[in-house]
Structure 1
Amino acid sequence: MLKIEHLSKKFVGNDFYSLSDVSMEIEKGEIVGLIGKNGAGKSTLMKMIAKSQKPTSGTITYNGTDINSRDNVLDDFGIMIDPVFYPEMSVIDNLKFYLKLHGKEELYSNIESTLKLVELWDARNRKPKGFSFGMKQRTALAIALVAEPDFLILDEPFVGLDPIGVQKLITILKTWSSERQISMLISSHQLGELEALCSRYVYIEAGKLADAFEGKENPSLVVNLDTTKDLSVLKPFLSETVSLEENSLDISTVTEAKELNQLFEVLASHELIAGISVKENHLKDVFMKG
């Protein structure tokens, strides 16, 4: 659905590339997490996809069309990168204006449910100029969601939402992905929320695509091992759900009971257990290694 080929960006006055030779694809209905440290180039990539910045080299095609070859290629996109709205216009009027601008007045009926989703219905008649940063983020998020887009680009969509609001947003985005086949590129430093949502990740480091990998849907039990003992007895148990990572054993919570019983029998009988912890967030490992 979206194809990025050898994309690079060098800003005027800089002697370095903010983004260098990035290539990736996003399929229909796929939710991709964009991760990386501050200044890695994530926002630059998202802004070029949104056409707010032009690439120095490389191409971005959407459904086979170069997005920079003509206007209105991104009509079906919902975009939230920087909070963009009219600060002197009420929240509800901002959404109405956005829909009218895109010729989608028939979707006015979406406004109430969208504002309730982002917890702004009670503030619908207020002007965003006096909002906190989190409320401004939620206003921009509402604008991105209200027009039933086919593709979403979201930068820090969870900011300002309480835990219940975060869970509601995650649920509706996953529903849109599965039922309406909406594609999404989502960047956030809230890694737990990303793991609850994304099926695949791309990791940007120093402007380059450093890694791309499938997500782990379930938390793991981590068994820290006594490395003074012989660990070779664990080899028969290594599988897609059980992996040996340096001095610890990563055991997915979806591992079958029979296998778990056999594994822990070996661990106990050989006194290999040095400690146990729960790993709910696998993405932290990517940052630690980066």
Structure 2
Amino acid sequence: MITVELSATALAATRFGLSPLMEIGTVLNQWHPQARRGARWAHAARDTVVRHDLRLLAGFLGQHRGYVPDFLNPLPAGYDADVDRELHEVATTPPEQVAAELAAWVRGKRGTGPQSARHARPVLECLHHGEEVFAQRLADELALFWAHFLAPRWPTVHRRLEADVDRRAKAAARDGLGALLGGLDRTTRWHDGALHVTRPFHRTVRETTGLLLLPSTLAGHVGVGIDPLGVRPVHLVYPATATPSTRHLGDVLGHTRTALLQDLDVPRTTAELARRHHLAPSTVSYHLGRLHRAGMVQRTRTANTVRYHRR
């Protein structure tokens, strides 16, 4: 379990950010051929890396259980990051930061097998030319990956990210930041003034400056970014919820379930839905159970309150 304790200042400064390079970073951090969302984009990502001979990115691809250097995906300073500015930030990363983060990456590669070592070789060979050259070449590869993989998809991706932020901001206005944080996905829970993220290990950190929330259309689960030096704020890359098309859903799901599903753009309790739709709580509970088993809604618990929201 990762526990993120938030000071009052950090909670007040919690914000969203949209970042093209963070979306690419999700490919590097969470790519896996059997990932739940992998079928949509994993093959296209790998084809892009192979076709354009992006050897440095190939060295990092598939490190979903390891560490990918933070400088590959700088945190957006504002709400909506500009990709050219982000690429410039990667290219001009201070040499000492490149060296420290790549050293941590190399330590994490030890004992990972011959195939992993083969992919890492171009990274280490390029590093022999110096950290500044390495940062520039990595920025060039990221630019190619952006141009051929993500840029054609970005208008659609951006609309989905914006829609997710709009929905969650509305939910926060209605139910509070705790409900927002606890409802990022099935692994997050807000309890006793802290955010708890389910993981197979235990770590507690305290964030005092601000929490950054980064929606991603490619993330399969919430990723927690913790800077060991404490320079970057704690940030969460979380799965952006899609807005399902409700056209003709009534013919498939039935009009009661369709109405409930359409009303779950923000998290709601069974009692709230029953009141809004003039239904018995037991009826709402039954339909929500069917929608949950079908994977169309997810539920989150904050203290003793269970809320449902649309995936």
Q: Say whether the fold is shared (TM-score over 0.5).
A: no
Higher relative contact order (CA 8 A, sep 6+): 2
Instruction: Output the TM-score relative to the length of structure 2.
Output: 0.25
Instruction: Output the TM-score relative to the length of structure 1.
Output: 0.27
Question: Which structure would you say has the larger Rg?
Answer: 1
- As a proportion of its length, which structure holds more helix? 2
